[in-house]
């Protein structure tokens, strides 16, 4: 008996102009869905994709952008919170502004998007896919802000699933390092070496679509995606 799947539909993607977010946008479009992007660099979004410039650290602007997107498209079927930043440094060597901005983008931005999208998602029994990290499983040195934010995203996702069970679906995706420009602005000591085990963002995007396509009543609560030799697992 074939397993039923849910159409992908209208998917709001934060950070959809690059990296994992861009891979999700491409996968949604290929699957016949309608991606909607919130990002700071919308010039990089493919032509024809609805994209809005917004800084997810601005909660009021982010919430309004989400509500406006839902209104333009007659609702939302899913949200994927792929926007994320990092700036590795010892805790004594990172400014308070940088530390707080990492948490604001990764955790508070995720929460702002979900809060604003919740009425639209409840109307469609839609899904939220949050993106944490392998560093939400085990923190590492020089990554206090990033680890704290991603541990927070994982906890937020678990609490959200408990609170909204039966009304929306919630999946937390836990990827290891991906082959994107996420590491481009780092100093050499914090860049992956030539032998680093990285995964393609398209692989993670495919897993996200798998979660989005699950039939009503079936929940994938967490997905860990990493190379076979990933040292941060378990």
Q: Which CA distances in Å does 59 have to 56, 81, 111, 166, 195?
A: 6, 14, 9, 27, 39
In the block, tokens 């952008």 appear at 65
- pLDDT bin (cut points 50, 70, 90) of residue 181 is confident
Q: What is the DSSP letter of 132?
A: -
Residue 232's pLDDT is 65
Question: pTM of the prediction?
Answer: 0.94
DSSP 89-126: --TTTS-HHHHHHHHIIIIIHHHHHHHHHHHHHHHHT-
Percentage of the residues of the chain whose pLDDT score is greater than 70: 93
Q: Which of 227, 152, 210 is nearest to 27 (CA)?
A: 210
Which pLDDT tens digit goes with each residue over 197-222?
888 999 999 999 999 999 988 999 99
Residue 184's pLDDT is 66
Residue 190's pLDDT is 62
Which pLDDT tens digit goes with each residue over 152-162?
999 999 999 99
- pLDDT bin (cut points 50, 70, 90) of residue 67 is very high
- Contact of 82 with 117, CB cutoff 8 Å: no
**What does the pLDDT average to over 180-200?**
72
Is residue 146 annotated as part of the catalytic site, yes or no? Answer: yes
Task: Give me the catalytic one of 37, 39, 131, 146.
Answer: 146
Which pLDDT tens digit goes with each residue over 14-57?
999 999 999 999 999 999 999 999 999 999 999 999 999 999 99
Which pLDDT tens digit goes with each residue over 99-135?
999 999 999 999 999 999 999 999 999 999 999 998 8
> Of 5-19, 49-63, 186-200, which range is least confident?
186-200
**What does the pLDDT average to over 161-166?**
96
SS3 at position 142 = coil
In the block, tokens 């030799």 appear at 229
Cα 32 to Cα 29: distance, rounded to the nearest angstrom: 5
């Amino acid at each position: 008996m074939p397993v039923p799947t849910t159409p992908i539909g209208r998917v709001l993607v934060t950070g959809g102009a690059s990296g994992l977010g861009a891979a999700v946008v491409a996968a949604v479009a290929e699957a016949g869905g309608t991606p909607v992007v919130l990002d700071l660099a919308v010039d990089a979004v493919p032509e024809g994709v609805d994209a809005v410039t917004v800084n997810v650290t601005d909660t009021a602007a982010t919430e309004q952008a989400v509500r406006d997107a839902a209104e333009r498209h007659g609702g939302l079927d899913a949200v994927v919170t792929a926007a994320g930043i990092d700036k590795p440094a010892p805790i004594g060597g990172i400014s308070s502004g940088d530390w707080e901005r990492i948490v604001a983008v990764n955790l508070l931005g995720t929460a702002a998007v979900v809060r604003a999208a919740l009425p639209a998602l409840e109307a469609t029994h839609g899904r939220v896919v949050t993106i944490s990290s392998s560093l939400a499983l085990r923190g590492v040195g020089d990554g206090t802000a990033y680890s704290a934010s991603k541990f927070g995203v994982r906890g937020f996702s678990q609490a959200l699933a408990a609170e909204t069970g039966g009304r929306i679906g919630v999946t937390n995706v836990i990827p290891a390092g991906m082959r994107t420009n996420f590491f481009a602005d780092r100093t050499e000591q914090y860049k992956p070496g030539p032998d680093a085990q990285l995964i393609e963002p398209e692989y993670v995007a495919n897993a996200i679509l798998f979660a989005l396509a699950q039939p009503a009543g079936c929940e994938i609560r967490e997905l860990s995606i990493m190379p076979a030799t990933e040292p941060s697992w378990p």
